[in-house]
C-alpha cells in the first residue's frame, strides 16, 4: 500500500513514520512538512539518519499526493485535516486523521469544544478506536483516529458501561500523560527546567478529550453520559495512565466486573488484561500498541477503579492509526505492531 504522511515532523507524525518503516506492506511515498519543506527529515529528526533521509515535501499539491497514495495519514493541529478531506473527497484515497476533525458524530459538539467551524461537516467518517468500531473502520473512507487520553479512558470503562455495571453519573477520570502529548513546539510551560521534577494538572473541566470519551461511552450504553475528566502532566516523555472511578450499580460483584472485562476483551491482542488487583505501569507498554488494564473494587465505598496504561504516541496516536490502517486494508491487525515494549 502506498501511504503518505501529512505533517511528518510532529511527534505523532514521526512516530508514525517509525512504525511504517517497519511495516511489511506499507510504502511511504510522501512525507510533508510546511515549516521544513525541502529539508531531509533526518535533519529535523536525526534519529532517522540512514533510515529516512528524503526531503520533506509541501502539502500544497495535495491532489497529486492523493493520486499517488492509497492512504493519507494526517498529523496536523485541529482544523487542518478537514480542509484536506474536502480537497481529496473525490479521489479514491482513504484518510486516517490523527487529529480531532473527524472524530465526532455530531459536528456541533466538535465546533463547541474546538471553537472552529467545520468545513466538511457531512463527511462520512468513522471513529477510529479499533476495539470498539472495527466493523465500520473496515470500509471507511475517513477514519477519525481516537485521541490519546480518550483511548486509555474509553478502553478502561467500556466493558462496565456496556454491561451496565456502573452508575453513569459517578464517572471521574483522572489521567496523567507524558509531555510528548503536548507536541513539539517550544513554549515556556514545557521548557525543560519548568517541567522537570514537577507535576501539575491542566485543562480541568475544559479539556477537549472530554466529549470524545463521552461520545464513545454513550455509544456503548445508548444513554448520553456526562463525566469528569482531568488531565495532568508527568515529567516523562511518553505514556498515559488513566485512573477511572465509578460507583458500582446495585448488586454488582467483583466477579461480575472480571467477567465484563474478559467478555469484551478476551480476543483483543492489544488489550492486555492484567486483572483485578493489578497495577499497570506506563513503562510496561512503552513503544508498543498495547493497552494494559487492571481494576480494583473498593468494598468500603462501592466503587470500581480501573487503571489503564498506554503509550500516548503509539496506541494513543500512531500505533492506533496503523492498527486502523491494517483493518481498513484487510491485513492482520498486528502487522508492523509486534515489537515488544522497550523496558527499562
Buried b (16+ CB within 10 A) or exposed e, 258-296: bebbeebbeeeebbbbbeeeeebbbbbbbbbbbbbbbbb
Nearer to a copy of itself, 141 or 247 (CB): 247
By CB under 8 A, is residue 108 in contact with a copy of itself? no
Smallest gap from Cβ 219 to a copy of itself, in A, equals 19
Smallest gap from Cβ 140 to a copy of itself, in A, equals 28
Q: Select the span of 87-95, 97-105, 125-133, 175-183 touching a copy of itself (CB under 8 A).
A: 175-183
By CB under 8 A, is residue 46 in contact with a copy of itself? yes
By CB under 8 A, is residue 36 in contact with a copy of itself? no
Spatial distance between the Cα atoms of 85 and 12, rounded to a whole number of angstroms: 19
* Residue 330, C-alpha cell as written in the block: 484487510
* Residue 93, C-alpha cell as written in the block: 484515497
3-state SS class at 343: coil
Q: Select the span of 101-109, 110-118, 149-157, 269-277 touching a copy of itself (CB under 8 A).
A: 269-277
The distance of Cα 91 from the centroid of its chain, to the nearest Å, equals 26
* Contact pick of 90, 186, 266, 330 for a copy of itself (by CB under 8 A): 186
* Strand pairing category for 228-233 and 200-201: antiparallel
Sheet holding 142-145, edge to edge: 27-32, 2-6, 71-74, 94-97, 142-145, 126-128
By CB under 8 A, is residue 197 in contact with a copy of itself? yes
Smallest gap from Cβ 89 to a copy of itself, in A, equals 33
Which one from 148, 221, 244, 291 is the annotated catalytic residue?
148
Contacting a copy of itself within 287-316 (CB under 8 A):
287-288, 290, 292, 296-301, 303, 305, 307, 309
Smallest gap from Cβ 316 to a copy of itself, in A, equals 14
* Contact pick of 83, 283, 332, 335 for a copy of itself (by CB under 8 A): 283
Contacting a copy of itself within 239-268 (CB under 8 A):
239, 241, 243, 245
3-state SS class at 101: coil
Residue (of 303, 184, 286, 165) closest to 246 by Cα position:
303
Burial class for 92, CB neighbours closer than 10 Å (0-12, 13-18, 19+): exposed
By CB under 8 A, is residue 24 in contact with a copy of itself? no
Phi, psi of 91 (to 5 degrees): -95, 155
Contacting a copy of itself within 115-174 (CB under 8 A):
170, 172, 174
Spatial distance between the Cα atoms of 264 and 181, rounded to a whole number of angstroms: 28
By CB under 8 A, is residue 51 in contact with a copy of itself? yes
By CB under 8 A, is residue 50 in contact with a copy of itself? yes
Contacting a copy of itself within 61-80 (CB under 8 A):
none
Nearer to a copy of itself, 74 or 307 (CB): 307
By CB under 8 A, is residue 280 in contact with a copy of itself? yes
> How many chain residues are in contact with a copy of itself, going by CB under 8 A?
86
Q: Is 148 a catalytic residue?
A: yes
Contacting a copy of itself within 1-20 (CB under 8 A):
11, 14, 17-18
Give the DSSP letter string of 10-78.
SHHHHHHHHHHHT-TT-EEEEEE-SSSTTSBHHHHSGGGTTT--PBPBPSTTHHHHHHH-SEEEE---T
Q: Select the span of 85-93, 104-112, 139-147, 282-290 touching a copy of itself (CB under 8 A).
A: 282-290
Spatial distance between the Cα atoms of 302 and 305, rounded to a whole number of angstroms: 10
> What letter would DSSP give residue 230?
E
Catalytic site positions = 148
Amino acid at each position: 500500500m502506498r501511504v503518505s504522511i501529512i505533517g511528518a515532523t510532529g511527534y505523532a507524525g514521526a512516530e508514525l513514520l517509525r512504525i511504517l518503516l517497519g511495516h511489511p506492506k506499507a510504502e511511504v511515498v510522501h512525507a510533508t512538512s510546511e515549516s521544513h519543506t525541502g529539508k531531509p527529515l533526518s535533519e529535523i529528526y536525526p534519529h532517522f539518519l540512514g533510515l529516512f533521509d528524503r526531503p520533506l515535501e509541501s502539502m500544497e499539491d495535495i491532489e497529486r499526493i492523493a493520486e499517488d497514495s492509497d492512504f493519507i495519514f494526517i498529523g496536523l493541529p485541529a482544523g487542518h485535516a478537514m480542509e484536506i478531506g474536502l480537497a481529496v473527497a473525490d479521489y479514491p484515497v482513504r484518510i486516517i486523521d490523527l487529529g480531532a476533525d473527524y472524530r465526532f458524530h455530531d459536528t456541533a459538539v466538535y465546533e463547541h469544544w474546538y471553537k472552529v467551524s467545520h468545513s466538511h461537516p457531512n463527511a462520512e467518517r468513522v471513529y477510529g478506536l479499533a476495539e470498539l468500531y472495527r466493523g465500520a473502520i473496515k470500509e471507511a473512507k475517513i477514519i477519525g483516529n481516537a485521541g490519546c487520553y480518550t483511548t486509555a479512558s474509553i478502553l478502561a470503562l467500556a466493558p462496565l458501561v456496556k454491561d451496565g455495571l456502573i452508575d453513569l453519573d459517578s464517572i471521574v477520570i483522572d489521567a496523567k500523560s507524558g509531555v510528548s502529548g503536548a507536541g513539539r513546539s517550544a513554549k515556556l510551560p514545557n521548557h525543560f527546567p519548568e517541567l522537570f521534577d514537577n507535576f501539575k494538572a491542566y485543562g480541568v473541566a475544559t479539556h477537549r478529550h472530554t466529549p470524545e470519551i463521552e461520545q464513545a461511552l454513550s455509544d456503548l450504553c445508548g444513554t448520553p453520559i456526562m463525566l469528569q475528566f482531568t488531565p495532568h502532566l508527568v515529567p516523562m516523555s511518553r505514556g498515559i495512565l488513566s485512573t477511572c472511578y465509578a460507583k458500582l450499580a446495585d448488586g454488582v460483584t467483583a466477579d461480575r466486573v472480571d467477567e465484563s472485562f474478559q467478555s469484551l476483551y478476551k480476543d483483543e491482542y492489544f488489550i492486555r488484561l492484567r486483572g483485578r488487583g493489578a497495577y499497570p505501569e506506563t513503562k510496561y507498554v512503552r513503544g508498543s500498541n498495547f493497552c494494559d488494564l487492571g481494576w480494583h473494587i473498593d468494598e468500603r465505598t462501592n466503587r470500581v477503579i480501573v487503571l489503564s496504561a498506554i503509550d500516548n504516541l503509539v496506541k494513543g496516536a500512531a500505533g492506533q492509526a496503523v492498527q486502523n490502517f491494517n483493518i481498513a486494508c484487510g491485513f492482520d491487525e498486528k502487522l508492523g505492531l509486534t515489537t515488544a515494549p522497550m523496558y527499562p
